[in-house]
Amino acid sequence: MSRALRTEAGAIGIETLGMTMRFGEFTALDDVSITVPAGSFHALLGENGAGKSTLVKCIMGFYRATAGELLVAGQEARMTDPRVAQALGLGMVYQHFTLVPSLTAAENLVISRADAPAVIDWRRERARLAAFMETMPFKVPLEQPVSRLAAGEKQKLEILKQLYLGNRFLILDEPTSVLTPDEADEVLGHVRGLTEAGEITVLMITHKFREVTAFADAVSILRRGRHVGGGKVGEISVEEMSRAMMGKAPEVSKRARAGTERREVMRLRGVRAQDRTGLKSIEIEDVALNSGEILGIAGISGNGQMELMEVLTGQRRTMGGEITVKGAPFGATRAEARTHRMRYLPEEPLRNACAPRMSVAENLAFRIFDEGRNGKPAFWKNDRAIARNATTLIEGFKVKTASPAARIASLSGGNVQRAVLGRELTGEVDALIVSNPCFGLDFAAVSTIRDRLMAARNAGTAILLISEDLDEIMELSDRILVMSEGQIAFETPVETADIGEIGRHMAGHGE
């Protein structure tokens, strides 16, 4: 055997042979064979819907593969149940945390053990945990409730939990999507160290080429359920990877900034509000938003961006300060938003900006249904106008829906996002407030959304873009603000922006 099945320090390797998964007519995974030798760091690349999660769910026993075999450390394994995978030492770190928020880190670790004692002797368990932590490359505060940990700490704790449970083959599902660049590098660096020491084998799902080239040994690429390429990192170029992933050379964005006239549209002065725990507050000293620019607000989630968005949309009370739009005080009522032509695209629009069980056409009419001719309030619903509006927007924004009468909840994430963006961008728009517009969307959807935002900016709309995706902020913004601990910690024009410096301010180490 030339491939390592098991390292001395305990890491185990796996191999899939012709793994196939069909859901009725649809083939989600088609004859995929990949080999992950023990002690290696393997990346799994692919767009949304390429079959990455189906593959790992088959490996972990959440799905039973229609055909194909799985070898764990050279032995054929029948994954009938997630518990079988667990018993064989296979563990998974999910994109969304599976830690219990109100339990402390120590409680989370102890209760996740299959052999947790009926009565927990905390003195003994603490000693054992401390001894375990001694052997680990990174530390996490154990006595804090998990809800108070930063995203990076939670991600580390998820990985620690798998090691604590004795798992030696880890699947990481986009582990860095909620981390700052520095945090991501730190966590992945430690994981890399553990694989080099032969402690664990890692299979990481990602769509970030930088992480593949910087940390992985080898890569496998999936497209439409097929294994379309891969190889050793270093022998395969980023162009080859992206071509394999998308099936064609990536389209170069035609987005370009046009020169625009800048007038102040909105200004926040000394705005204070409580955050949702009621323990901390956010405070915005002085922020101005001008027409024809995209003002990006970067920050790690939970640093007050969500609360800022809620203040601007009128969902959260302010405790002081003032918001003015074109010089007039702004209270974010529907009437004020209409007069000043302010529009919003909150994050997770299906939850925050739609009535999920109403039809696409009705959802698209939320801005016009109560307005009759000449802007007078309407009493009767005008079905014809609603249908006309829906047809225009569905065509204009390429919303894929079975019919305008379909429930909006039946649409995919990208289509909901495009539909709501279309609704918010109809007519004259002076200001658009956007929060994480591309979260969870695939490349094509991301690209159209960003094109639309840039087009709106070029047409003179003032756009406030709140996003946790630093690449998005860097790509679209004219000016960048960094939010940390509820305050604006840093401001820079995009021309002189340095990603490392922004990352440090995001993490609260600006000075």
Partner 1 sequence: MEPVEIGLWGVPLAVLGGAIRVSTPFLFVSLGECLTERSGRINLGLEGTLVFGAMTGYALAYESGSPYVGVLAAALAGACFGLLHGWICKFRGVNDIAIGIALMLLGMGLAFFFGKPYIQPVAPDLPAINFGWWSDIPQVRAALQVNVLFLLGGLLAVAMAWMFRSTRVGLTLRVVGDSTDAARAMGLDPDRVRLLATAAGGALAGIGGAYLSLYYPGSWNEGISSGQGLMAIALVIFARWNPINCFWAALLFGGAGALGPALQSVGVSEGYYLFFAAPYVLTLGLLILTSSPDRAMQGAPLELSLTK
Length, in residues, of the chain: 511
How far apart are the C-alpha atoms of 60 and 81, rounded to whole Å? 8
Nearest in space to 433 (alpha carbons), one of 332, 285, 356: 332
Nearest in space to 56 (alpha carbons), one of 150, 170, 153: 170
How far apart are the C-alpha atoms of 492 and 435, rounded to whole Å? 20
How far apart are the C-alpha atoms of 434 and 492, rounded to whole Å? 19
Nearest in space to 160 (alpha carbons), one of 113, 212, 115: 113
204 class by beta-carbon count within 10 Å (0-12 exposed, 13-18 middle, 19+ buried): buried
Work out whether 278 is an interface residue with partner 1 (CB under 8 A).
yes
Candidate list 100, 142, 358, 378; residue touching partner 1; CB under 8 A: 100
Candidate list 15, 107, 362, 472; residue touching partner 1; CB under 8 A: 107
Site for partner 1 in 235-274 (CB under 8 A): 273-274
Stretch of 43-51, 82-90, 383-391, 476-484 contacting partner 1, by CB under 8 A: 82-90
How far apart are the C-alpha atoms of 263 and 274, rounded to whole Å? 30
Nearest to partner 1 of 3, 83 (CB atom) = 83
Residues 268-277 as b or e (16 or more Cβ within 10 Å = b) = beebebbbee
Stretch of 78-86, 372-380, 450-458, 496-504 contacting partner 1, by CB under 8 A: 78-86
Shortest CB 275 distance to partner 1, Å: 8
Work out whether 276 is an interface residue with partner 1 (CB under 8 A).
yes
Stretch of 116-124, 339-347, 448-456, 498-506 contacting partner 1, by CB under 8 A: 116-124
Work out whether 350 is an interface residue with partner 1 (CB under 8 A).
no
Work out whether 111 is an interface residue with partner 1 (CB under 8 A).
yes
Candidate list 33, 75, 80, 98; residue touching partner 1; CB under 8 A: 98
Work out whether 102 is an interface residue with partner 1 (CB under 8 A).
yes
Instruction: Please identify which residue in the block is written with the tokens 């945090």.
Output: 183
Work out whether 114 is an interface residue with partner 1 (CB under 8 A).
yes
Handedness of CA 96, 100, 103, 108 (dihedral sign): negative
User: Can you state the angle between helices 383-396 and 413-424, rounded to 10 degrees?
Assistant: 120
Q: Cβ neighbours of residue 259 under 8 Å, at least 6 residues apart?
A: none
How far apart are the C-alpha atoms of 97 and 107, rounded to whole Å? 15
Nearest to partner 1 of 117, 396 (CB atom) = 117
How far apart are the C-alpha atoms of 333 and 364, rounded to whole Å? 20
Shortest CB 103 distance to partner 1, Å: 6
Work out whether 154 is an interface residue with partner 1 (CB under 8 A).
no
Q: What is the DSSP letter of 374?
A: G
Candidate list 9, 120, 328, 402; residue touching partner 1; CB under 8 A: 120
Work out whether 122 is an interface residue with partner 1 (CB under 8 A).
yes
Nearest to partner 1 of 117, 372 (CB atom) = 117
Candidate list 10, 82, 231, 413; residue touching partner 1; CB under 8 A: 82
Nearest to partner 1 of 23, 122 (CB atom) = 122
Candidate list 2, 24, 118, 252; residue touching partner 1; CB under 8 A: 118
How far apart are the C-alpha atoms of 223 and 163, rounded to whole Å? 31
Candidate list 103, 142, 358, 459; residue touching partner 1; CB under 8 A: 103
Number of residues that bind partner 1 (CB under 8 A): 30
Shortest CB 87 distance to partner 1, Å: 11
Q: C-alpha distances in angstroms, 474 versus 293, 441, 494?
A: 13, 18, 7
Phi-psi sector, 325: left (phi>0), alpha (psi -120 to 50), beta: beta
Candidate list 117, 166, 270, 356; residue touching partner 1; CB under 8 A: 117
Work out whether 131 is an interface residue with partner 1 (CB under 8 A).
no
Nearest to partner 1 of 94, 439 (CB atom) = 94
387 class by beta-carbon count within 10 Å (0-12 exposed, 13-18 middle, 19+ buried): middle
8 A C-beta contact, residue 76 and residue 70: yes
Candidate list 3, 64, 78, 83; residue touching partner 1; CB under 8 A: 83
Shortest CB 407 distance to partner 1, Å: 17
SS3 494: helix
Nearest to partner 1 of 93, 462 (CB atom) = 93
Nearest to partner 1 of 232, 276 (CB atom) = 276
Nearest in space to 79 (alpha carbons), one of 56, 63, 55: 63
Structural element, H or E, at residue 355? none
Work out whether 116 is an interface residue with partner 1 (CB under 8 A).
yes
Work out whether 101 is an interface residue with partner 1 (CB under 8 A).
yes
Shortest CB 402 distance to partner 1, Å: 25
**What does DSSP say about strands 479-484 and 487-493: parallel, antiparallel, or unpaired?**
antiparallel
Site for partner 1 in 300-329 (CB under 8 A): 316-317
Candidate list 65, 90, 110, 306; residue touching partner 1; CB under 8 A: 110
Nearest to partner 1 of 146, 265 (CB atom) = 146
Candidate list 35, 112, 412, 492; residue touching partner 1; CB under 8 A: 112
Binding site for partner 1 (CB under 8 A): 82-83, 86, 94, 98-103, 107, 110-112, 114, 116-120, 122, 273-279, 316-317
